[in-house]
């Protein structure tokens, strides 16, 4: 008789199968993206959003967006909440915002995200005001009446090697 994998109630099979793998490869310095690619190569199917949620859970890291809401508006985002990324950024920093409101053309509710590229990082209130100004300045490009706008995170270019 072959023993099967026992999956605790409420957990996905992919999470249970990959939990130790995630911990070990992260300790060796592998990124989340590299671990996800390896899991997919091994036939362990994972939706990207589920993987990163599980990855943060295994490592005990809350999502940066969850922590950003506790930073005062008159402060700059702290360095431990700024994600350094190898992806191409047109400027040194990219501030990502979640925006809720309604479409001024159709009247439908909108829940979307926008980004603001900057060379210098300002405090959160200034970033939010600049984003609101950008959206209001071009109503044909951004037909949204904003109800809620908040900073979800900040990315920075990787430092040169």
- In terms of domains, do 96 and 146 share one? yes
* Domain of residue 38, residue span: 13-61
Average pLDDT in the chain: 81
Indicate whether 75 and 150 sit together in one domain. Answer: yes
Residues 119 and 139 in one domain: yes
Q: Which residues contact residue 111 at a Cβ distance below 8 angstroms, ignoring those fewer than 6 apart?
A: 98, 99, 100
- For residues 48 and 111, state if they share a domain: no
Within a domain: residue 5? no
Q: Are residues 89 and 74 in the same domain?
A: yes
Residue 1 domain-assigned (yes or no): no
Q: Which two tokens stand for residue 154?
A: 């900040």
48, 37 in Cβ contact below 8 A?
Answer: no
Based on the domain organization, do 30 and 81 belong to the same domain?
no
78 and 151 in a common domain: yes
Give, for all 161 residues of the chain, the pLDDT tens digit: 344 444 445 555 656 667 777 777 877 778 888 888 888 887 777 788 878 877 777 776 666 667 788 889 999 988 888 887 777 888 999 999 999 999 988 989 998 999 999 999 999 999 999 999 999 999 889 888 999 998 988 988 877 65
Structure tokens at 117: 């590229």
- CA contacts within 13 A on the Cβ side of 87: 6
Q: What contacts 58, CB < 8 A, 6 or more positions away? A: 19, 22, 23, 26
């Amino acid at each position: 008789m072959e023993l099967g994998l026992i999956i605790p109630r409420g957990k996905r099979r992919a999470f249970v199968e990959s939990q130790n793998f995630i911990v070990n490869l992260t300790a060796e310095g592998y990124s989340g993206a590299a671990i996800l690619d390896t899991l997919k190569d091994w036939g362990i199917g994972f939706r990207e959003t589920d993987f990163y949620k599980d990855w943060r859970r295994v490592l005990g890291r809350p999502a940066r967006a969850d922590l950003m809401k506790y930073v005062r508006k008159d402060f700059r985002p702290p360095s431990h909440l700024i994600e350094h990324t190898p992806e191409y950024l047109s400027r040194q920093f990219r501030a990502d915002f979640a925006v809720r409101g309604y479409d001024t053309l159709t009247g439908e509710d909108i829940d979307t995200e926008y980004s603001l590229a900057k060379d210098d990082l300002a405090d959160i209130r200034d970033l939010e005001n600049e984003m609101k100004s950008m959206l209001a300045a071009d109503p044909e490009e951004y037909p949204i009446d904003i109800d809620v706008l908040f900073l979800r995170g900040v990315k920075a270019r990787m430092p040169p090697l």
